[in-house]
Structures are given as C-alpha cells and as structure tokens.
Amino acid sequence: MKLKRIALIAAAVVAVAWVAIPGAGSASTAGPAIPHYQHIVEIMMENTSYDTIIGNPLAPHINALASKYGLATDYFGVTHPSEPNYVANLGGSFFGIQDDNQFYCTPALSSKHNPFLNFAGTQGALANMVPDTQLATDLASNSLPNFSLVVPDQCHDMHGTGGCSTTNGLISAGDAYVRDTVKAILHSKAWHHGNDAVVITWDEDDFSDEGQPGTGCCGADPGGGHVATIVITNKGNKHPITDGTPYNHYSLLLSLEDAFGLPCLANACDSADGVVPMTPLFHP
C-alpha cells in the first residue's frame, strides 16, 4: 500500500492520524462492490464491550448515531491487548505482538496507540504526526486526507489512565468526544462531495471474557471481544442499517481497501475464514 501522507501524534495527547491514499491496484472482492470513496475517517475508541455501549444512557450521542446510520452488531477485535489491534487494523495482522510495550522501547517512539510507528515505511514520518486540532483546519480548508485515523487520548477514548474520571465519566467523556468530532466532519464541505464515511469502532472489549471461544470471528477466535462498530455514510439510505454479519478489524481493513481500490493485505485476504467486506454498511 503506497501512503501519500501520514499524520499522527502519540496518544498521550488527543490525537488524529491522517493518511491520504491515492487510488491504486484493484479491488479485492467481486460482486456488489463497495463504491469508491473520497474520504473515510476512522475513530478508534478503547476497551469497551458492545453491551457497555449499545443501550447505555451514558452514551446518548453514540447510540443516536447507531440508531440513525449503520451498526455492525457482530463485530470483534482480533486479540488482546490494545497495540496488536491497532496494528492489525491497518496492516492485516498483529505480527505476533501480544503486549502494549513501546515500539523498541524507544522514548521517541512511545505510543502504543500509534500503529504507524510499527511499520518501517511510515515510522519516520514524525513531522507529519499532528494533534487533532489540525482536523478542524483541514475541514475548514476542504483539504481532508482520503483516510484519517482519529486516536483520542486515554481520558477521551473510554479506557482511562491516572487522573481521568470514573468508569461512567469515561463513557460520557468519550461520547462527547465522538459527538463533537462527528459533528465537525458532517458539517464540513468535504462531507458533501463524493462518497464519504465515518467509522466509529473500539480496539477490544473490557477483557472480561479474555481467551474464551466466541470472542472473535473470521479466523481469529478467541479474539479481542465483541465491540460496537458504527458506519456513517453521506450517501446512505433514509433508514438505519443493522448488519449482523460476523466482522472484525480485518473486515474493516478489507472494506477500506475496496473503498480506495487497493489490494488486500495479509489476513484481510482470508475469505476462506469468513473475512468479508462490510458492504451493506458501506454500500447501503
């Protein structure tokens, strides 16, 4: 995959990653294809199970989006803990990573929530790794990259760290972050041209069922647990979509590859294991 532009900052602060991907290669699936997309923004939240989010009154804005747009009801992380899910989400594999250690334990490469630092082709692009205040600038100037990975800090991603709020407070803070980010995107000029989408997902569940069968799918079971995934498109139907197809992070990567006309990577190619694109949600 040729990457034209990358932008990400360590998850110690509120962060957003942008990757502009030029159209190249061929789509990886046959049949009713996901159409070509101009912009896809993925918001990666943290360590919260599906049942903790969907139906929770502490997350009214996320639930409103799930009810209005598209909801994948059988979506899973691929493993535990966080870092390998971030890597798999972009690279099609977690490449044997099973911890949250800093990349090479190097202070300059310190973020376990920055998947680009794990790949030789992108880890040197530190000058283009920017705080999420750049998102508002890019939206205002109509220069949003083709693909954007939004990584909130741990006080806004629902995971929490020292100095953050209680569990309920983390859910509310994450809900407000998603509300504000999605609102900014949906009110931008970019959202009204071509095919555009926002994806809200979680890296893994809360570990409560770690290692148990049924915590994954599509060749990765046990996996990272059942999480909510919401897809908002600017060309969607007038009615909400609920998709019960088994999906995981490899399915989402395959969907992004199809949307940008790119060949599949690693486990995103595993159709024999049930990895399929999320076509109903991206092509409603």
Q: What is the pLDDT of residue 126?
A: 81
pLDDT at 230 over 80: yes
CA distance 64 to 232: 11
Residues 6 or more apart whose CB falls under 8 angstroms from that of 239 comprise none
CATH of domain 5-282: 3.40.720
Secondary structure class of 40 (helix, strand, coil): strand
Secondary structure class of 68 (helix, strand, coil): helix
> Per mean pLDDT, which range of 77-81, 144-148, 233-237, 267-271 is the poorest?
233-237
For residue range 98-155, what is the model confidence (pLDDT) as tens digits?
A: 999 876 666 555 588 889 888 888 888 887 777 888 899 999 999 999 999 999 999 9
CA distance 191 to 96: 37
CA distance 225 to 80: 9
The whole-number average pLDDT for the span 251-267 is 97
Distance in angstroms between the alpha carbons of the first and the last residue of the chain? 26
Q: What is the pLDDT of residue 131?
A: 84
The whole-number average pLDDT for the span 159-170 is 90
pLDDT band for 25, please (50, 70, 90 cuts): very low
The whole-number average pLDDT for the span 45-52 is 98
CA distance 268 to 249: 8
The whole-number average pLDDT for the span 78-93 is 97
